[in-house]
């Protein structure tokens, strides 16, 4: 019932996480009403996503082969914080309670086991100055299982393993945690 180009855009938007068909229709209608200049800018930004890379060391999103955190030698090179997704890094950085390195796992143990960067993590821990691994997976069932799995395989290495303290409610995502909660969670991290 919609023109083909209109429907195709709706389909694209509907395929995005958290966007249902009704919301997709509203977004496309909104775009339809915008100026050609604004739409051009939007299309350019969308295309430029090809230029964004994954950091070769920590798997954070990055403009270059290594992200700004891995390149910053003033950061504590003896600590590494394991997070599920790149978005989890933002609130931890914003809390200013952590100045070590990161490692983006790419998910949790059972959801997409094959694509996780666990081998890369072990490789890095083995060949670096890391003395403490801080696990900051979400406080969900999957996050808990992942933390336990990581603890088990990190046992072989000469590193302390800790996890963020449960200042965060069970079932909560690091991504949405506020500064105060993260500060105390990091400070009171528990040895596993």
Least spacing, CB of residue 53 vs Zn ion, in Å? 10
**Residue 20 corresponds to which tokens in the numbers above?**
């249902």
Least spacing, CB of residue 149 vs Zn ion, in Å? 23
Complex with Zn ion: residue 70 or 164, whichever CB lies closer: 70
167 closest CA partner among 177, 175, 176: 177
Element (H, E) at 121: helix 118-126
Complex with Zn ion: residue 18 or 119, whichever CB lies closer: 119
Complex with Zn ion: residue 24 or 58, whichever CB lies closer: 58
Complex with Zn ion: residue 11 or 99, whichever CB lies closer: 99
The burial class, CB within 10 Å (0-12 / 13-18 / 19+), for 28 is buried
3-state secondary structure of 133: strand
Least spacing, CB of residue 175 vs Zn ion, in Å? 18
Least spacing, CB of residue 111 vs Zn ion, in Å? 23
Query: 121: which residues sit within 8 A by CB, 6+ positions away?
Result: 80, 82, 103, 105, 150
Query: 43: which residues sit within 8 A by CB, 6+ positions away?
Result: none
Question: Which spans of this chain sit near Zn ion (rule: CB under 5 A)?
Answer: 55, 57-58, 60, 67, 70
Least spacing, CB of residue 168 vs Zn ion, in Å? 24
Complex with Zn ion: residue 60 or 146, whichever CB lies closer: 60
Least spacing, CB of residue 24 vs Zn ion, in Å? 34
User: Hey, which bits of the chain come out as E strands?
Assistant: 53-54, 61-62, 76-83, 100-104, 132-135, 160-163, 190-191
Please answer whether residues 69 and 113 qualify as being in contact, where contact means their C-beta atoms are separated by less than 8 angstroms: no
Complex with Zn ion: residue 26 or 53, whichever CB lies closer: 53
């Amino acid at each position: 019932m919609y023109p083909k180009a209109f429907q195709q855009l709706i389909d694209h938007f509907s395929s995005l996480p958290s966007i249902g068909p009704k919301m997709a229709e509203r977004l496309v209608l909104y775009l339809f009403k915008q100026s050609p200049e604004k739409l051009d800018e939007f299309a350019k930004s969308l295309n430029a996503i090809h230029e964004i890379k994954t950091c070769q060391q920590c798997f954070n999103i990055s403009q270059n082969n290594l992200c700004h955190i891995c390149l910053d030698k003033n950061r504590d090179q003896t600590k590494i914080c394991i997070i599920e997704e790149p978005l989890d890094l933002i609130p931890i950085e914003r809390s200013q309670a952590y100045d070590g390195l990161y490692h983006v796992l790419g998910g949790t143990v059972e959801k997409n086991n094959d694509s996780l960067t666990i081998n890369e993590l072990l490789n890095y821990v083995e060949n670096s100055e890391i003395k403490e691994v801080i696990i900051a997976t979400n406080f969900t069932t999957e996050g808990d299982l992942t933390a336990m799995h990581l603890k088990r395989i990190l046992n072989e290495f000469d590193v302390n393993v800790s996890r963020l303290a449960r200042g965060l409610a069970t079932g909560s995502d690091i991504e949405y945690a506020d500064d105060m909660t993260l500060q105390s969670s990091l400070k009171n991290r528990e040895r596993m």
